[in-house]
Amino acid sequence: MQFKILGSGGAIPIPRPFCQCEVCNQARLNSKLKRNSSCASIGNVLIDCPEDISDSLNRNNITNIDYLFLTHWHPDHTFGLRVVLEANYDFISHEANKVITVCLGKKVYKTLKEKFPVINYYVDVLKVAKLKFIEDKEIIKFNGFNVTVVGYKGPNSDWYAFLINDKLLYSSCDTIEFDNYKNFKNLDYWVTECGIFSVDTEISFSDMLLRIKELNPKYAILTHIEEPEINKIPDDIGKVKLGYDGMVIELS
């Protein structure tokens, strides 16, 4: 079973529109350096759908998604909903070709429908989506793998991580709020946000490394890598690796 990082960038993808810095110009010349906003997939499951989700799906030849899990409401994780859901609507026959199950916490939905109210149009009018409200510690079984829902603050959280087969934990963003991270030792993989160097409301890069050292997974992979921060990341960070778009993690 393959877990794939479709997008390894943050709220500011690489290359950033209009930016003429070295990082962005190199990414324009070399597609391997491009970083779309954070999202991932496993089997027929997509995790998050940022505004550039169409490019991420096409670059990785993703041809079928039945379930979409949302970590939180932020635009760089949800505002690609239109692209994903409308892709399954036939505007000639005015019928849905299929229905995607959108899995999200109740508090996430409450905020999302305020910020992105068209979500109800896709559910109730176009009928290309149905909602499934998820709960902390809920285990959802698929063909060949399980997804365990992890609320950052337990039940009724605003942010969620997802544990795949008890081996890979995906916590791509806002982990400064992740109170429960200490419960996940003995991981094979922890795919988690990079952290930033200008500490404010986000977790810092150095604190993220301390958390990784504390949990001591076999492998730690950083994602949600922001364009203004990438040149500040040291070349040698031990067994911690930088994720990249299209990165495949094999889960036995």
pLDDT digits (tens, 9 = 90+) for 111-126: 999 999 999 999 999 9
Residue 201 pLDDT > 90: no
Q: Is the peptide bond before 228 cis (omega within 30 degrees of 0)?
A: no
pTM for the full predicted model: 0.96
> Taking residues 182-210, what's their average pLDDT?
92
Give me the pLDDT at residue 57, please: 98
CA distance 188 to 185: 9
Per-residue pLDDT for 152 more than 90? yes
pLDDT of 198 strictly over 90: no
pLDDT for res 21 = 94
| pLDDT at position 199 over 80 | no
247 pLDDT above the threshold of 90: yes
pLDDT in tens, 214-238: 999 999 999 999 998 899 999 889 8
pLDDT at 61: 95
E strand segments, the chain = 2-7, 39-42, 45-47, 67-69, 89-90, 95-96, 100-104, 129-133, 139-142, 145-151, 160-164, 168-171, 189-193, 219-223, 240-242, 247-250
- Quote the mean pLDDT of the chain: 95
Domain 2-250 architecture: 4-Layer Sandwich (3.60)
Q: Any idea which residue has 């076999």 for tokens?
A: 218
Domain parsing of the chain, residue ranges: 2-250
